[in-house]
Amino acid sequence: MSDWWRNAVIYQIYPRSFQDSNGSGTGDLRGITRRMDYVQALGVDAIWIAPFFKSPMKDFGYDVSGYREVDPLFGALEDFDALLEEAHRHGIRVIIDQVLSHTSDRHPWFQESRGDRHNAKADWYVWADAKPDGSPPNNWLSVFGGIAWQWEPRRGQYYLHNFLASQPDLNCHNPEVRRAGLSNLEFWLKRGVDGFRLDAVNFCMHDPQLRDNPAKSVAEHEFLSGGEIGSPYSLQEHLYDHTHPDNLLFMEEIRQLLDRYGAVALGEIGSESSAEVIGEYTRGDSRLHMAYSFDLMGPDGSASCIKETVESLQHKARDGWCCLAIGNHDVQRVASRWTGDSPNTESAKLFSILLSSLRGAVCIYQGDELGLPEAEVPFEKLQDPYGINFWPVYKGRDGCRTPMPWQEAEPNAGFSSATPWLPVDASHFALAADRQTGDPDSVYECVRDFLRFRKRQPALLHGDLNFLPVRHNVLTYTRSTNGQTLLLSFNLDGEQRRIDRRELDSFNGARLEKLDGYRAPQGAIADEALLLPPHSMLIAEVR
């Protein structure tokens, strides 16, 4: 099998916000097919499509009620087949989401399982008796707030839900459940998909003894400050509710299936020790091909934090493989998050290039190639239950999920002829794709040029990565192969910075030849220093 995925650029599509093709106000599969020329022109290797399966949409498709059915909101199965064919015709691979750890409470499996304790699927979900006082079996908490157990009067037991109460957790310790999950994967493999993004894949197995999670040593003022969005979930060490060692067996079963079809697995890891878990889940050739975490999706975009995070991933996951991401449909837009909510074009360019020049596969979230800032969504128009539950401490994920702006002068920015499911942010019209395409100063053209540049540089595709010391919020590192060494320096600061050549360790006496071919704001190489204007960068080949 080709290892194309090791340095792939994957473009994440959130289908309900990408393109509406039928005037429903919601994006759909035909809308994605319609925009395939745009995706190809950007220069990515693959697309990852978030869930489009049959679902009551309590969590926007991550609560699946029919794994082999397209929800009518997005179209029909033949629409997916047409999308897949069109993507392949454009030379683009297709990765689709799969949710193996839980289903919707409307899934037929759960409807049967909840009926009594003796049916054929009685052990397909995580059920437990109440404590003698009627309280839940243990202290586990839901990511979305509150306890992780819901009482079911039909069985007279609690069921586990790590997310919404309408998302009961499957019991993947049961071999029948794993086989059913693998069968659903194979359904899509037979249709020709190139791989899967596996949602919350380390949540598939829990501690069978249902032991309590220990409390963290977190000061009360740290919790009440809102640093962890005011959720008690952050007050526990999550030792027992996910990432059980036996889950690695499931990862190996998944890999065996995918290898038969030449497909890839990208796992989403949500864990307090995500770097170690990524290493475990992607180690060798028998588990997942690659995985990503939320480590680079926090609020700190300083050079020191990025260096520390990537070095930790490199060290702790060194026997595995990372897919790096700085944005997705679950976090605030990076253009706002890493600029203290003061987005600017230059920073947006730098963030995309920085991501694409690190070691590993990378994932670009739709709209980040346009430099979209976080959208403001008023409370009365919120759709995300996470935001509704925690408002106003946390506004939810709707701000990064608003529709793609395609045409500046069109109603709803060309996304839909009807009222969109979320409003288009007023600031996004001026950043529309039609306005940026062909504009040499735009974020879009910068990202597109750099992705082409990247494909011509062996060191960026295959090279090792080594960081130099951080100076003045300037991130500097090398990418090296046997035939090429590149020095990359990013000034993430709002002031001009000078990096003395003597601070570049062994490269102090080397000849540096500046490389062009991308449109980012660039610095200069002087005899004794690198000169970097605010929010600029340079790439030099070491001779």
- Beta-bridge partners for 530: 499, 525
Residue with tokens 């079963």: 253
| Residue 32 DSSP SS3 | helix
CB contact at 8 A, 294 and 331: yes
- Backbone angle region of 41, left / alpha / beta, with phi > 0 → left and psi within -120 to 50 → alpha: alpha
DSSP string, 136-166: -SS--B-TTSSBSEEEETTTTEEEE-SS-TT
Instruction: Please tell me which residue in 105, 268, 374, 445 is annotated as part of the active site.
Output: 268
Interacting residues of 354 by C-beta distance below 8 A, sequence separation 6+ = 306, 475, 490, 537
Which own/partner contact pairs does 492-496 have at CB distance under 8 Å and 24+ positions apart? 492/301, 492/302, 492/303, 492/347, 492/350, 492/535, 493/534, 493/535, 494/534, 494/535, 495/534, 496/531, 496/532, 496/533, 496/534
The reply to whether omega before 392 is within 30° of 0 (cis) is yes
- Name the helix (H) or strand (E) containing 97: strand 93-99
Annotated catalytic, 199? yes
Helices (H), 262-359: 274-282, 303-316, 334-337, 345-356
| Cα–Cα dist 466/417, whole Å | 49
Distances (CA, A) of 262 to 98, 178, 471: 17, 20, 44
E strand map for 459-519:
464-467, 474-480, 485-491, 497-500, 512-514
Annotated catalytic, 69? no
Residue with tokens 């790439």: 539
| Cα–Cα dist 355/12, whole Å | 14
- Name the helix (H) or strand (E) containing 385: helix 385-390
| Cα–Cα dist 181/49, whole Å | 19
Instruction: Please tell me which residue in 199, 384, 398, 425 is annotated as part of the active site.
Output: 199
CB contact at 8 A, 470 and 303: yes
Judging by DSSP bridges, how do beta strands 464-467 and 512-514 pair with one another?
unpaired
- Beta-bridge partners for 109: none
Handedness of CA 298, 304, 306, 310 (dihedral sign): negative
Interacting residues of 38 by C-beta distance below 8 A, sequence separation 6+ = 433
| Cα–Cα dist 377/402, whole Å | 9
| Cα–Cα dist 294/272, whole Å | 10
Which active-site residues does the annotation give? 199, 268
